[in-house]
Amino acid sequence: MRDVDEPVGVRPGRDWWLPILQVQLYVAVSEDRGRAVTAAQRWFRDGFTQLGGAFYDPAAQASPTELHIETRLSRREPHAVSIMLSIPQRGGDGYLHTAYSPVMFDALVESLQDLPRGANLWFDANGDDGESHTGPTLGFDLDRIDSDTGAWLQLRLLTLRTPLTQTNGMAPLLAFVRGVANLGNPVHGEIFWGNQTGGVFEWGIGKYVEQSLPQARQLLRGYAWLTILPEEIGQRLGGLDALRFSGAFVEVEHLDAGGYWCRATPSIEQYDQAAAERVFEVVAPALPPGPPDLRRVSRPNALSARDASNR
C-alpha cells in the first residue's frame, strides 16, 4: 500500500543514502483461501511480536495520541516513536488510518479474514537529532492482486536503520519469514535492497507484478540473496538434493506446505556479482527469456546480465 521513497538531495552528513531492506512473499488466494488468511494474519501478528524490537515497549506503554505520527512530527524529540495502522473497512469503503492500540491492532488482524485489497502497519522513530527521517523504520504491508486467472497476496516488509538490516541482526527476520512461508505454499519470495513493488529481476526486465503472477508456478519471477521457489519450479530444477548440491546456495530447505527456501550466501552483504552468477546458473531454466537492463538494478543488488534463453 505504501511506497517508501529513498530520499535524494540530502544535506551533507545525513545517512539517507542507506538502502531499504525489503522482503516480499506471495501467496495464492485462489488456490487456498484459508491458507492465505493464515499467512496474512501471521505476517502482521508475528511481525509485530517477533520483530517489533525497540518499538514494542512504546506500544505497550504509550497512548494512541502519543503514538500518532502527527505527535512525533510536531514534537521533534529524539527517538520519539509513532505506530500507525491502515485498517480496511468492510464493504471496501476505504481505510481507517489510526495510531496503534491493542484494540485497533486486533481489528486490523481480524479484518484480514476478508482478504482485503490492502492493509499496513508502520513503525517510525525520530533520529538522535530529533529529525523525523533519520531514525529507524519498519513496515508491514499487504496488497491483494487480482487478475482474470486468480488472486494473490503480496506480503511485504520494509525496514531501514534497524538491527534487521545488519548481519548480526538478521536471524529473527529470517526466522519470521521462514515461519510464514512454511504455512503459505508461496508462489514466490525474495529478500533484496529497494522499495519497488516487484522483485529485482522483474524490475530489470521491465515486467509488472500483475503480468508475472499468473505464470509464477511455471516461470520463475526472479532471484536474489534469498529466493523462495514455488514447489513446481523447485521440482523442475531437480528438487531438494539437486538444489543443495548445485553450489549456488549455503542453505536450501523444503518448506512445510510446499516450496523451496534458497539462501545464496551466509549474509546479504556477501551476495555479490559472483554469487548472483552462481544462482543464475541454477535457476536459468525456469526464468523468462531476455536479459535484464542492469541500469535499472540499484546497488547493492546483483543480477546476471545474461539471457536465460541463451544459457
Could you tell me the pLDDT band of residue 1, with boundaries at 50, 70 and 90?
low
Q: How many residues does the chain have?
A: 311
**129 and 202, same domain (yes or no):** no
Neighbours of 70 (CB within 10 A): 11
User: CA neighbours within 13 Å on the CB side: how many for 53?
Assistant: 19
Q: What is the pLDDT of residue 7?
A: 32
pLDDT digit string (tens) for 252-286? 999 999 999 999 999 999 999 999 999 999 999 99
Examine residue 175 and state whether it is found in any structural domain, yes or no.
Answer: no
User: CA neighbours within 13 Å on the CB side: how many for 132?
Assistant: 10
**80 and 131, same domain (yes or no):** yes
What is the C-alpha R_g of the chain? 19
pLDDT digit string (tens) for 200-250? 999 999 888 999 999 999 999 999 999 999 999 999 999 999 999 999 999
**194 and 294, same domain (yes or no):** yes
Q: What is the pLDDT of residue 197?
A: 87
Which DSSP string do the residues of 284-300 spell out, in sequence order?
GGGSPSS---GGGS-TT
Cα 5 to Cα 3: distance, rounded to the nearest angstrom? 6
| 8 A C-beta contact, residue 189 and residue 228 | yes
Could you tell me the pLDDT band of residue 6, with boundaries at 50, 70 and 90?
very low
- All cell numbers assigned to 49: 511480536
Q: What is the pLDDT of residue 47?
A: 96
Q: What is the pTM of this model?
A: 0.92
Could you tell me the pLDDT band of residue 85, with boundaries at 50, 70 and 90?
very high
Q: What is the pLDDT of residue 25?
A: 98
Examine residue 179 and state whether it is found in any structural domain, yes or no.
Answer: no
Examine residue 164 and state whether it is found in any structural domain, yes or no.
Answer: no
Percentage above 90 pLDDT, the chain: 74
CA distances from 250 to 138, 170, 278 (A): 27, 16, 12
Q: What is the pLDDT of residue 247?
A: 95
Is residue 191 predicted with pLDDT exceeding 80?
yes
Is residue 56 predicted with pLDDT exceeding 90?
no
| 8 A C-beta contact, residue 260 and residue 243 | yes
Neighbours of 271 (CB within 10 A): 23
Q: Count structural domains, the chain.
A: 2
Examine residue 127 and state whether it is found in any structural domain, yes or no.
Answer: yes
Residue 145 CB contacts under 8 Å (≥ 6 apart), including other chains = 151, 152, 153, 154, 209, 210, 213
**203 and 137, same domain (yes or no):** no
Examine residue 232 and state whether it is found in any structural domain, yes or no.
Answer: yes
Is residue 16 predicted with pLDDT exceeding 50?
no
Q: What is the pLDDT of residue 11?
A: 33
Q: What is the pLDDT of residue 285?
A: 96
**226 and 132, same domain (yes or no):** no
Which DSSP letter does residue 78 get? Answer: T
Tell me, rounded to whole angstroms, the distance of Cα 29 from its chain centroid. Answer: 18
Could you tell me the pLDDT band of residue 18, with boundaries at 50, 70 and 90?
low
**107 and 194, same domain (yes or no):** no
Examine residue 16 and state whether it is found in any structural domain, yes or no.
Answer: no
Mean pLDDT of all residues in 182-196: 95
Is residue 13 predicted with pLDDT exceeding 60?
no
For 127, the domain range is 31-158
Mean pLDDT of all residues in 68-88: 91
Q: What is the pLDDT of residue 15?
A: 45
Examine residue 10 and state whether it is found in any structural domain, yes or no.
Answer: no
Is residue 169 predicted with pLDDT exceeding 50?
yes
